Each structure stands twice: as structure tokens, then as C-alpha cells.
Amino acid sequence: MWDNATIQMLLVGIGESLYMTVFSALFGYVIGLPLGILLVISARDGIRPNASLYKVLDVIVNVTRSIPFLLLMVMLIPVTRAIVGTSLGPTAAIVSLTFSAAPFIARMVESSLMEVDKGVIEAAHSMGASDRQIILKVLLPEAVPSLINGATIAIATILGYSATAGFIGGGGLGAIAVNYGYYRYQTDIMLVTVLLLVVVVQIFQEIGMRSAGKSDKRKS
């Protein structure tokens, strides 16, 4: 099985998986980070409480998070076609991965920002900080270690979803595992792809944990 073609295929698979994961995470944060910030500041004990805004965002996040990823992908086929022109391949998968990751990321960001000491926010208010300054200079910087931890979890989760995307033509390691291991009973290739996925997740995990620890100034 270790002919050049197989190795080539696996390398392309890793590349595609990373491509899907990185871009989905990136776009996921473009949507999820502001959403998480809005959730925190509009909450009852936030810096700009707004019950109706909070409720609307809360419901959107909960509903989208409740839809299983596989079904979300199918539902989003028309949207994906409209955006990328096709519903097949890694680029197409990024659309549904982003939609699926964004609310998840929003929740992660929300819980990271909620950890920031209310007293510090009050101190910033007492110094005459504006809402914008509190978000940019207090909430986000103080939550950095926790945000990095959240990002690590988000990336591992998206990588897992990207493998699922392989089932309906998403490409990447997931597609290889499905096509060879499931349809052709080539267990060895499937095991190799699983192993590769595990290694990739471990690498992300390690990088994430190290940089979170390094950025954390709370421990002496």
C-alpha cells in the first residue's frame, strides 16, 4: 500500500484538512468573536445591558449549535453553491464548517470574557474608560490566556468536523478515511488517516497550551 500515489494522496489529505480547519477557524472567529463580545456586554451584568439584544443572540447561538453538523452541511448546500459555486471539495466545506464553528466560538469567547474580574472593569470605569476602551484594553487583553485555550479547543473541534465533511465530498483526511476504510474495506489506510488526525490535533493542542501558559501573567 505504501506506493508513491498513496503517500501523495495522504499528503494532499493533510494539506486539505489543515486548509479547511485553519480557514474555518479564521472565519469562525470573524463571526464568533464579535458575537461573543456582544453576548458579554449585553448581558444583565455586562457593561451595556440590553435584554432584547442578548435574548436574540442567545437564541440564534443556541439554535445553530443544536443542529448536528452533518445536517447543517446538507441544509447549507444551496448557500455553499451560492458562495463558492460548488458544494463539493474542501473550499465548499469551509462554508458549513464556519457556520457550525461560529456559534461554538461565540460561546467560548463569552465564557473567557466572563472570567475577567468585574472589579477590574469597575476600576476602568472609574478612570473614565469608554465601552470601546474597556473591550479593547481590559476585556480582551485580560482574557488572552483563556481565549487561547478556547481557540485550541475550537480548532480541534473544527478538525473533527472537517473529517465528517469528508462523508459528503468535503475532501481532506476524512474523505480518505471514508473512501478507503468505509467503502473499500482498506482498514490500514483508514488507521493511518486516523493516526494522522490524532497527531495533528496533538500538535495544535501542544502549541495552544504552551502559548496560553506563556501569556498568562496571573501565576508568579
Partner 1 sequence: MAPQTLIEIQELEKTFQTKNGAVHALKDINLQIQQGDIFGIIGMSGAGKSTLVRCMNLLERPTAGRVLFDGKDIAKLNDYQLRTVRRSMGMIFQQFNLLMQRTAESNICFPLEIAGVDKKTAKARARELLELVGLSDRAKSYPSQLSGGQKQRVAIARALAPNPKVLLCDEATSALDPTTTASILSLLKDINRRLGITIIIITHEMSVIEQICNRVAIIDKSHIAEVGSVEEIFFHPKTAAAQKLVYPDGRKSEPFSAQDADATCYRIVFDGNSSFEPVIADMVLEFKIPVNIIYADTKNIDGKAFGQIVIQVPQQESLRENMLRYLQRRGLTVEEVTGYVG
Which positions touch partner 1 (CB under 8 A)? 117, 119-120, 122-130, 133, 137-138, 141-142, 144, 215, 217-220
What does the alpha-carbon distance between residue 106 and residue 27 come to, in Å, rounded to a whole number? 12
Phi and psi (nearest 5°) for 75? Answer: -60, -35
Q: What is the Cα gyration radius of the chain? A: 20
C-beta of 123 vs 207, nearer to partner 1: 123
What does the alpha-carbon distance between residue 91 and residue 89 come to, in Å, rounded to a whole number? 6
For residue 34, the minimal CB distance to partner 1 (Å) is 21
DSSP 8-class letter at 135? I
The CA–CA distances, whole Å, from 18 to 34, 115, 163 equal: 24, 31, 11
* Residue 133, C-beta contacts closer than 8 angstroms, at least 6 positions apart: 124
What does the alpha-carbon distance between residue 151 and residue 219 come to, in Å, rounded to a whole number? 21
Cell of 103: 456559534
For residue 111, the minimal CB distance to partner 1 (Å) is 18
C-beta of 41 vs 190, nearer to partner 1: 41
C-beta of 124 vs 192, nearer to partner 1: 124
Cell of 39: 453576548
C-beta of 94 vs 138, nearer to partner 1: 138
For residue 169, the minimal CB distance to partner 1 (Å) is 44
C-beta of 55 vs 118, nearer to partner 1: 118
CB count in 10 Å sphere of residue 179: 17
Q: Which of 185, 187, 188, 195 is nearest to 163 (CA)?
A: 195
For residue 152, the minimal CB distance to partner 1 (Å) is 18
C-beta of 136 vs 198, nearer to partner 1: 136
Q: Which of 80, 36, 41, 30 is nearest to 60 (CA)?
A: 36
For residue 110, the minimal CB distance to partner 1 (Å) is 19
For residue 216, the minimal CB distance to partner 1 (Å) is 8
